[in-house]
Amino acid sequence: MEVINIKGTDDTPNVILDKANGIFEISGRSLPEDVNMFYEPILDWIDQYSEDPLAETVFNFKLEYFNTASSKVILDILLKFEEIFESNKAVIIKWHYQEDEEDMLEAGEEYADIVEIPFEYVVYND
Amino acid sequence: MNEVKENQGFLDFAYQLYKTMKTNEINLVYEGEVTQEITKTFTSLTEKSLAKSAESNQVQRKVFNVMVECLQNISKHADSIDEGEEERRGIVMVSKGVESYSIITGNVIKNEKIPILQRNLEQVNSLNKDGLSDLYKKQIKEGRISDKGGAGLGLIDIAKKTGSKLSYQFKTLSETLSFFILTSTIKRT
């Protein structure tokens, strides 16, 4: 599969989707003007990946900030991995948050309430 | 018109504005078109000035967060006084008080949209932290991203992040239009 490697900007996140090396990561900040346009290739990639996923997928979210329009798309991404998880493949979401960032931890917990995938919370310091 | 007199009037106005801003610790005032570029510029300006201050990271993040949602609300939903005008304009003000930051935004809105907006605001204001979290989860599951790119989550998110009630007013401009003012308050402690 092709590798998606998008460098982050002021309003869009870093995205790495690399099946061969088992790297799945979205990090940085996400507040694009047109959320659908930015995330469309990412959602398409995941659709394609879900046809033949790895035995175990570890997806890292290390977001500093995301706007509410992005939060909806993040749920769409998680729902796609929920389907993979339900097809008896291991999926783990590693939700990173900065030490004092309770809002980001809560955001992760809210997603974990909605989707049936194991979440791990990882604290980091800059 | 006497040009000197007019000029003096403007200088007085500028000075008054400066004094008012100083007295009320207003860090930013803007009136004009609100676009993604403007949103990025203001949030990064505010971010930089907050980073220089002794404000906690948490408060800095919340101010940034609320500003983005408020500005994107204007850039998606604001109406204009002139029919057919595509530009989305608004006012934005950020002030720092002893106990809290206030982010005040204002924009023109069609009167026909007020009942729904008011109902959403009242619903958000009636809920506590857990209630807001439940509403957020319900809305994110059921909601769709509109043509304008909104997810109907902005006001819920502001209330969640600030932990304060949303304060708002509608000032009638005409039979068809009003001016909508929203004040979001972020406690500094």
pLDDT value for B69: 92
Whether B137 sits inside 8 A of A114 (CB atoms) is yes
Backbone phi and psi for residue A93, each to the nearest 5 degrees, phi listed first: -100, 120
pLDDT value for B2: 67
How far the first Cα of chain A sits from its last, in Å, is: 33
Instruction: Please tell me which of the candidates B40, B56, B151 has its beta carbon nearest to residue A69.
Output: B151
Closest-CA distance of chain A to residue B162, Å? 10
ipTM: 0.91
A33 and chain B: CB distance < 8 Å anywhere? yes
pLDDT value for B170: 97
Rg (C-alpha) for chain B, rounded Å, is 18
- Report the interhelical angle of A35-49 vs A68-86 (nearest 10°): 10
Q: Under CATH, which number does the domain B3-187 receive?
A: 3.30.565.10
Give the helix/strand (H/E) hosting B4. helix B3-23
Instruction: Please tell me which of the candidates A10, A35, A69 has its beta carbon nearest to residue B40.
Output: A10
**Nearest C-alpha in A relative to B72:** A33
Mutate which of B65, B73, B144, B158 to test chain A, going by most A C-beta atoms within 10 A? B65
Instruction: Please tell me which of the candidates B36, B61, B137 has its beta carbon nearest to residue A65.
Output: B61
The single-letter DSSP state of residue A20 is: T
Cβ-contact B60, B51 below 8 angstroms: yes
CA distance B125 to B154: 13
Closest-CA distance of chain A to residue B15, Å? 35
Buried b (16+ CB within 10 A) or exposed e, B119-141: eebeebeebeeeebbebbbebbe
Q: Are strands B26-33 and B89-96 parallel, antiparallel or unpaired?
A: antiparallel
State pLDDT tens for residues A21-80: 999 999 999 999 889 999 999 999 999 999 999 999 999 999 999 999 999 999 999 999
A79 and chain B: CB distance < 8 Å anywhere? no
State pLDDT tens for residues A80-100: 999 999 999 999 999 999 998
Res. A106: pLDDT tops 60: yes
Rg (C-alpha) for chain A, rounded Å, is 14
Domains of chain B by residue range = 3-187
Closest-CA distance of chain B to residue A76, Å? 9
CA B165 distance to own-chain centroid: 14
pLDDT value for B145: 63
CA distance A3 to A12: 18
Closest CA to A7 of A23, A36, A28, A21: A28
The beta-strand segments (E) located in chain B are: 26-33, 89-96, 100-110, 167-172, 177-187
**Which residues 20-39 in chain B show a CB within 8 A of chain A?**
36, 39
Domains of chain A by residue range = 4-8+35-124
Q: Which residues of chain B have pLDDT under 50?
A: none
The single-letter DSSP state of residue B73 is: H
